Amino acid sequence: MGTYRVMRQDDNGNRVVVATGLERAEAERPAAQFEARGHKRLYWVEAEAAGAL
C-alpha cells in the first residue's frame, strides 16, 4: 500500500501540497472537509510516488 497526499489549487492556479504521508482514508477526510467550505479552491487526493520522502 502506498501513501497519499492532499493537494490544493487556488483560484490563481497555484498548486500546494497540504498534507503528505497519509493512508487513503486519512487523506480523503480533510480533502472533503476543505472542499465543503466552498472557497474558490479545489482539493483532491493523489498517490505519492514510491520513495518520495
pLDDT of residue 16: 95
Task: Delimit the domains of the chain by residue range.
Answer: 4-47
Nine-digit cell at 7? 493537494
Cα–Cα dist 13/30, whole Å: 20
Model confidence pLDDT, tens digit, residues 3-51:
999 999 988 999 999 999 999 999 999 888 888 887 678 999 999 987 5
Sheet holding 42-47, edge to edge: 15-22, 4-9, 42-47
pLDDT of residue 1: 63
Which is higher by pLDDT, 1 or 49? 49
Amino acid, single-letter form, for residue 47: A
pLDDT of residue 14: 95
pLDDT of residue 51: 59
